[in-house]
Amino acid sequence: MKNSVQVLLFLILFFSCKKSDIERSLTLAGDNAVELRKVLDHYSKNIDDSLKYKAAVFLIENMPGHYSFGGKSVDNFYRAVDSVLLVEKNKEVLKQKIDSIAKMNNLPKSAERFEDIKCVTAEFLINNIERAFEVWPSGGYAHHLNFDQFCEYILPYRVRNEPIEFWRDSLAAMYNDIRLHGYNEGWRYSAFHACCELNNRLREETGVYLLPVSTFPIEKYSVLRNMSIGTCSDYCARAIFAMRAKGIPVVEDFTPQWPYRALGHTWNVVFSSNGKEYSFGGVDTNPDVIHKPDSKLSKVYRRTYALNKNSLAALCHNEPIPSNLNNLFMRDVTDNYTKTFDVKVETLVSPLQKRKFVYLCVFDNRRWVPVAHAGNKRGGITFENMGYDVMYLPGYFINEGIRPANYPFLLDFKGRIHYYKPDTLDTYNLRFKRKYPSTFRVIGVTRHMIGGEIQAADNPEFDNPQIIHRIEKNPNGFYVTISLDTLSQCYKYWRHVSPVAGYGNIAELQFFGSNGELLNNKGKIIGTDKTWGNDPKRSRESAFDGDPLTFFDSSLPDSAWVGLEFPEPVSVKKIVYLPRNDGNNVTIGDEYELFYCSLYGWRSLGRKIAKDYFVEFANVPKNAVLWLHNHTRGNEERIFTFDGRHTFWW
């Protein structure tokens, strides 16, 4: 990006000069120090403005490192997006158009970085302070905050790296009718219930449609507030703008990476009038609903306005560090969410070059992602406040990747460490049916098949059908094979019929003859006509298209059915069916590679093309962290361990 000024340059000056924090900030401001001094002078003249003066000092002291992206290309981008938002209502098309606008303006490459300390005006800063004090301490919903809390929950003039604008002014006349009508009189000034009411209003305005907007994030409030698509992070920011403008104390917490699935997550926290913090999803779920209940967490951080002088970004100096931890304005709050342990590990591998920091990483479907850091010291390294029941890898950050510093280990619920050092002399022969665990969502969907039947008949009405198989238990997203070696009678009509409230949910239905040949191509597809939402991808043809991710989904909940009519009665010796699923089963024809994690990274145990609904690998080391990778398709893949009887996914 043009005129990019590394935070490091600020820090060298910021921490090396023997001056007060406010003096260092004014020095960094250069010519813009005149504007910042105007703010300090404005509030120093009146003794009644002593708190406002302290607020100005807080903002200016912590301003170095805060910045926004702007310039001609960014301005053109936001103007074009604003115009598109007025006319385009189709969310998928909207994303495509915004992506196109970003590319047309060569973003993010052409964006210019503007440091707040060098461009924030006195007018803007004074306006922000005045507006913030209008809602504290007498504004209603923030009366319970002390000054330090006010400085983080209400006062900040920015949420992310958005272009600076008078967003508090634009929100001043909005949402003033939120007065907790219908609530108990004692809740009139409740930050918790005001948060619920305002979040409901935000959700009613645009709804929630989780879809990443573009390669260049939309952070400008005047545009963001009109967006009908976005990520959890986008909705979180939008909620913070509105909440803080109305004096509802809200901050942002995030986990850089889930320890059990891809990606991380961002959410809001409201500081309620009873002194407790409650999590919620901005514009989405309210704090009266438990946010992500019982989700495992490795690390949680809080985005702050105040500079964290002990952050990795502040301490790294000239050592390269992971981008997801390169933030001066975050602090660890993991123990607010889960039981944590301090973890002491040793390094068994010397890095290619001496490193000041070692990282704990979790797996993100394809790679190890750093979530915590510790100083590299002799005699052991201690990582503080780590979430439990998580598989971690200690590692060095080298060449934008992670090199193991020790074997992966499980931190159990008692805080004990269990290392997984592969035993290449003691091995298994293992068979795999999936590359990703069956989720609650998959199990919930496939439960609809219980009570369904595979039937055969000699008439198209299926009068007095022969019940070939009854589904007695949840198939949990797996392929199910039914052997019919003892069935001697031939039938012309074959089908799957769903139970009550089953909607016919079946992804694949295959019939095989006496010689193992697939008979599907010889039959005519028959069954219930109408599909859910008239979606052609959910038609009865989807049960025979060979694609595990398409499925038959009828608009009729009870006794929906799909099957084949053959030209003449056929003898079926095997039936294979697949319920509606997530596409993570081993698929015939796909190429798979099995890896185990060694002290020197992932080591391959070979590649195989699946010839059945499973793949087998020989000489798999015991006590190893394993990873089954599909080279043909898909994104979801998890590491796992095997104890001789059971598979454990991490």
377 vs 123, higher pLDDT: 123
- Whether 301 has a pLDDT exceeding 60, the answer reads yes
Segments in 218-339 forming alpha helices (H): 221-224, 232-245, 312-315
What is the residue-averaged pLDDT of the chain? 92
State the pLDDT confidence band at 461, using cuts at 50, 70 and 90. Answer: very high
Residue 621 pairs with which residues in a beta bridge? 427
Considering only CA atoms, which of 177, 203, 181 is closest in space to residue 286?
Answer: 203
State the Cα–Cα distance between residues 447 and 554, nearest whole angstrom: 16
Average pLDDT over residues 183-194: 74
Task: Round to whole Å and give the CA distance between 531 and 538.
Answer: 6
Whole-number pLDDT of residue 8: 47
Span of 181-190, 288-297, 372-381, 488-497 with lowest mean pLDDT: 181-190
Report the percent of the chain where pLDDT is more than 90: 84
Q: Work out whether strand 491-497 and strand 453-457 pair parallel, antiparallel, or are unpaired.
A: antiparallel
User: Does the pLDDT of residue 298 top 70, yes or no?
Assistant: yes
According to the model, what pLDDT value does residue 202 have? 96
The pLDDT score that the predictor gives to residue 4 is 39
For 224, the 3-state DSSP assignment is helix
What per-residue confidence (pLDDT) applies to 282?
Answer: 96
Overall average pLDDT of the 515-534 stretch: 92
Is residue 3 predicted with pLDDT exceeding 60? Answer: no
- In this prediction, residue 183 carries a pLDDT of 52
pLDDT of residue 16: 52
- Interval 243-273: pLDDT, tens: 999 999 999 999 999 999 999 999 999 999 9
How confident is the model over 296-303, as a mean pLDDT? 98
Task: Please tell me the predicted confidence (pLDDT) of residue 2.
Answer: 43
- pLDDT confidence of 194, banded at 50, 70, 90? very high
Q: How many CB atoms lie within 10 A of CB 134?
A: 13
With pLDDT > 70 as the criterion, what percentage of the chain qualifies? 95
Q: Tell me the HSE value of 106 on the side-chain side, using a 13 A CA sphere.
A: 9
Specify the range with the lowest mean pLDDT, choosing from 9-13, 247-251, 556-560: 9-13
Label residue 585 by pLDDT band (50, 70, 90): very high
Task: Using alpha carbons, select from 357, 349, 345 the residue that is nearest to residue 392.
Answer: 345
pLDDT at residue 231 tops 70: yes
Kind and range of the H or E element at 627?
strand 626-630
CATH number of 440-579: 2.60.120
pLDDT in tens, 57-104: 999 999 999 999 999 999 999 999 999 999 999 999 999 999 999 999
Q: Are 100 and 213 in contact (CB under 8 A)?
A: no
362, containing H or E segment: strand 357-363
- Strand ranges inside 243-314, DSSP E: 250-255, 265-271, 277-280, 301-303
